[in-house]
Structure 1
Amino acid sequence: MADHLRILIGCETSGVMRRAFAARGHDVWSCDLLPAEDRSNRHIVGDVRDHLADGWDLLIVAHPPCTRLCNSGVRWLHEPSKRLPETYPAAEREAYALMSREDRLAFLWSDLDRGAALFAACWQAPVPCVAVENPVMNPHAKARLPADLPRPQTVQPWWFGEPFFKATSFYMRGLPRLSPTNRLTPPKVGTPEHKEWSAVHRASPGPDRWKFRSRTFEGVAEACADQWAGGAAEEAVA
């Protein structure tokens, strides 16, 4: 078993990734602007950037705000939506609703810059091993990110025994690529099973939709804990 590591899980409220590493004996903390859903006392409420230099062996940014960085949100940078998602503060959503089209566009492009800055800060953190999660990025986001950013590894929950579709990209430094642990066979398009596997993308609008769509699957977290903790320990000792 790998030596005990000091691990920070950034931008996580669910505790799924934190619990997976904690179960293996590591000193692990999560951090987010919101409280932990499981009310853990090993959760820091605050900006992850304020804690990047606290002497971690491994940093995993589980789900940084990515609405503007991902491909699925790129269309709003050209024709702004009429409202912001529930993930934004109420005051910000109310102000946005009253903006002109031009002001909304300016806000969304500024939001893109903020998201890219957060991603870059995490990627460049003074930590030996780093993994930053994000969906497939749009070209505008890629142009704002560090030049040394490698090609990500894109995984699916069904690689790890979870019957769901959700392409997730990990940008990794000092860590091995994840290997499937329990690869399932995806159902054919158009079948009822395919619709069930697409639950993340088909989630109905509502105040908690963002939680469901951003949650880390337990199978993925277990694979990260098993396959990254050992690599991080070796890197930290080297």
Structure 2
Amino acid sequence: MTATSKKPTKFSETWDGESGKQRSISIFRRLQNQQIVEYGVMRVLIGGEYSGTLRDAFIAEGYDAMSCDLSPTQVPGPHYQGNWWDVMFDGWDLAIFHPTCTFMANSSSKHLFNGMDKRGGLNIDRWVKMGQAAWDLYDLRERCPVRYVAYENPVMLRYAQIMSGVEKLPCQTVQPWWFGDDENGPDNEKKATCWWTEGGLPKLTRTGTLDGKTARESVHRHAPTSDPEVRRMARSKLHPGHAKAIAKQWGGYVARQLAGQLDFSDILG
């Protein structure tokens, strides 16, 4: 696939010296093949994001983050338009992936049968597509070189969990309203989001004051459009409070783990 935007290869391309104090927590010694190869700022890859919401939340915390998607970014910022396999081996410290959920989501189970009825028999084409999506996720898990990884999807079909192997990973289901304080704000929504993690990433903790009683269901009631892809993209966006919590909690966790590897002796003399 051809990239239509420049891929940042080093943090210096987007470095803001005035933000150095904020970014200092993430400075660490990067190891590769047991040899020190460079000092730098913690690098985060957001795979399957075009909105820039999570990418920009990490950047706001002082990390070198880049989003990646087949679609162009909706908001200016570090973005690679293309397949995440093109950039996955570029030395990331944390990777967060949003695999396509169309064929793996539990809400799609009715489509596994002809006429959306078990009495109609198996919809072989749909089973094949579900199996391919699960295999793609399995392949990603097996070959991703990043130590700290998280995979996001809605509640997933049991078949897909088994085939992709995520059933063996720590899993947490969260809601957008967990991370909001304003009943009329964008986070007061119901949207069960599952996270499967690797590398010891901790479970996300609530940061908001909402209790879910007034949460809206806009995501589930999003009106159909002439282009199904438009509706899919609108429903897939991460809510801002959720993104901020991820950047603070997982970003902070990984930065602390990396800082534990750091020896400042040759910097400080």
Task: Please classify the TM superposition score into its range, dividing by the shorter chain length.
Answer: 0.7 to 0.9
In the other structure, the counterpart of 1:51 is 87
Residues 126, 235 of structure 1: CA spacing in aligned structure 2 closer, same or farther, 3 A cutoff?
farther
Cα RMSD (Å) = 2.2
In the other structure, the counterpart of 2:243 is 221
**1:124-151 deviation per Cα after TM superposition (whole angstroms, max 9, x unaligned):** 3111100100111112102211277324
Offset at residue 31 of structure 1 (A):
0.7
In the other structure, the counterpart of 1:18 is 55
1:28 aligns with 2:47: no
1:65 aligns with 2:87: no
- Which of residues 178, 193, 208 in structure 2 aligns to 1:159? 178
Q: Is the 8 A contact 2:170 2:198 kept in 1?
A: no
1:122 aligns with 2:140: yes
In the other structure, the counterpart of 1:92 is none
Share of identical aligned residues, percent? 38
In the other structure, the counterpart of 1:89 is none
1:178 aligns with 2:204: yes
Residues 227, 147 of structure 1: CA spacing in aligned structure 2 closer, same or farther, 3 A cutoff?
closer
AA aligned to 1:157 is: P
AA aligned to 2:171 is: P
**Larger RCO: 1 or 2 (CA < 8 Å, sep 6+):** 1
TM-score (norm 2): 0.72
AA aligned to 1:212 is: A
In 2, Cα distance between the equivalents of 1:148 and 1:113?
Answer: 15
In 2, Cα distance between the equivalents of 1:122 and 1:166?
Answer: 25
Offset at residue 11 of structure 1 (A):
0.3
| 5+ long unaligned stretches in structure 2 | 1-24, 28-40, 181-186, 262-269
TM-score (norm 1): 0.80
**1:30-72 deviation per Cα after TM superposition (whole angstroms, max 9, x unaligned):** 11111111243x11111112322221000001x3111111100
Indicate the SS of the match to 1:54: coil
In 2, Cα distance between the equivalents of 1:77 and 1:117?
Answer: 17
AA aligned to 1:211 is: M
AA aligned to 1:113 is: G
1:108 aligns with 2:144: no
